[in-house]
Amino acid sequence: MQLWYSLVDLLLPFGWMQHEFMKNALLGVLLVTPIFGLLGTMIVNNKMAFFSDSLGHSALTGIAIGVILGIKNPIWSILFFSVLITIAILIVKEANTASTDTVIGVFSSTAVALGIVILSRNGGFNKYSGYLIGDLLSISPSDLLTLGIVFVIVISLWAVIFNKLLISSMNQSLARSRGIGVKFYEYLFTIMMAVIVTISIQWVGILIISSLLIIPAASSRNIARNMRQYHFYSVLIALISGLAGLILSYFWGTATGATIVLITSGFFALTFVMKLRLG
């Protein structure tokens, strides 16, 4: 950590970067936004925006379960519940009883309702409202360590599975004809999504976490013409928005996560205009 602090002091000798929490938050942004940019591309490709939204919402129940069990750090109970609900959605989806949208809607609302019911017992919901907005500035060195480990795992997994995932997403039978185990990759991808959403939820907030996954990729899609450009722009937009959002939120005194999302929205508007102009 000391190395990082002195590095920041060297490269960014500004008054507002002197605070330790800003240095921590900066590292957090640098670790988290590229992952969001990368995973977002596939989420948008597969039209899973609603799904990632419901993952964020289900975190509420995860927190509630953590509270009931008396777990100090709710991240583990959130993680457990997110993965559980992900698998449940996939299984029900396969049974083909209703459209995917409906299935996700049912699970998402149930999870939110369950979370609110448990957390609002004895009228104590206000204690947990922080999770709705998130607080990036509260990120601690031990959080950063977890984040760093997740960063390495997600990026390496993404490198290994991406090609197969892409083929599977375009046509399941085509993927099977080339010997790709479609189910395995589908599950692995959604679980990765659950993990990354869970890990970042306490800093970004339940309400807007999925926008951070969706908007950079959606913006990139406006201007990209192949997969390499798609990923490059998406990660770039996520990174720039993250950094700009962190700095602006410091000066404005606003919630960091929401500020970042607003900037990504700005990028979406910009790229959309570019798309219209360029055709």
Partner 1 sequence: MKHHKCANSECKTCECGLCCTKINNFGVKRSGIEILKDVNLHIHCGDLTAIIGPNGAGKSTLLKAILGDISHTGELQFLDAKNKGTTRPAMGYVPQKLDLDSSSPTSVLDLFAAAHTNIPIWFTYPKKMRERVRESLARTQGEHLINKRLGELSGGELQRVLLALALDPIPHLLLLDEPVSGIDQKGLELFYETVSILRDNYDLSIILVSHDLSLVAEYADRVAFVNNKTIECCGTPQEVFGNVKVIQTFGLGWANRFQRDEKDRVDNAIMV
Interacting residue ranges for partner 1, rule: CB under 8 A? 38, 41, 45, 47, 96, 158-160, 162-164, 166-167, 169-174, 176-178, 220-221, 224-232
When the beta carbons of 57 and 221 are compared against partner 1, the nearer one is 221
When the beta carbons of 3 and 95 are compared against partner 1, the nearer one is 95
| String of DSSP letters for 111-163 | HHHHHHHHHTGGG-GGGGTHHHH--GGG--HHHHHHHHHHHHHHHHHHHHHHH
The CB-of-95 to partner 1 minimum distance in angstroms stands at 9
Tokens matching residue 197: 């959403």
When the beta carbons of 27 and 38 are compared against partner 1, the nearer one is 38
The CB-of-40 to partner 1 minimum distance in angstroms stands at 12
Q: Which one-letter amino acid corresponds to residue 39?
A: L
When the beta carbons of 123 and 279 are compared against partner 1, the nearer one is 279
SS3 sequence, 64-117? HHHHHHCCCCCHHHHHHHHHHHHHHHHHHHHCCCCCHHHHHHHHHHHHHHHHHH
The CB-of-214 to partner 1 minimum distance in angstroms stands at 14
Half-sphere exposure of 145 (CA within 13 A, CB side): 4
Closest CA to 88 of 51, 142, 143, 130: 51
The CB-of-130 to partner 1 minimum distance in angstroms stands at 35
When the beta carbons of 69 and 98 are compared against partner 1, the nearer one is 98
The CB-of-42 to partner 1 minimum distance in angstroms stands at 10
From residue 83, how far is each of 9, 194, 197 by CA, in Å? 39, 6, 11
Q: Which one-letter amino acid corresponds to residue 48?
A: M
How far apart (Å, rounded) are the C-alpha atoms in residues 139 and 204?
11
When the beta carbons of 17 and 157 are compared against partner 1, the nearer one is 157
**Is the CB of residue 216 less than 8 Å from the CB of residue 267?**
yes
How far apart (Å, rounded) are the C-alpha atoms in residues 60 and 238?
25
The CB-of-232 to partner 1 minimum distance in angstroms stands at 8
When the beta carbons of 128 and 233 are compared against partner 1, the nearer one is 233
- Secondary-structure breakdown of the chain: helix, strand, coil percentages, each rounded to the nearest 5: 85, 0, 15
The CB-of-124 to partner 1 minimum distance in angstroms stands at 45
When the beta carbons of 174 and 274 are compared against partner 1, the nearer one is 174
The CB-of-173 to partner 1 minimum distance in angstroms stands at 5
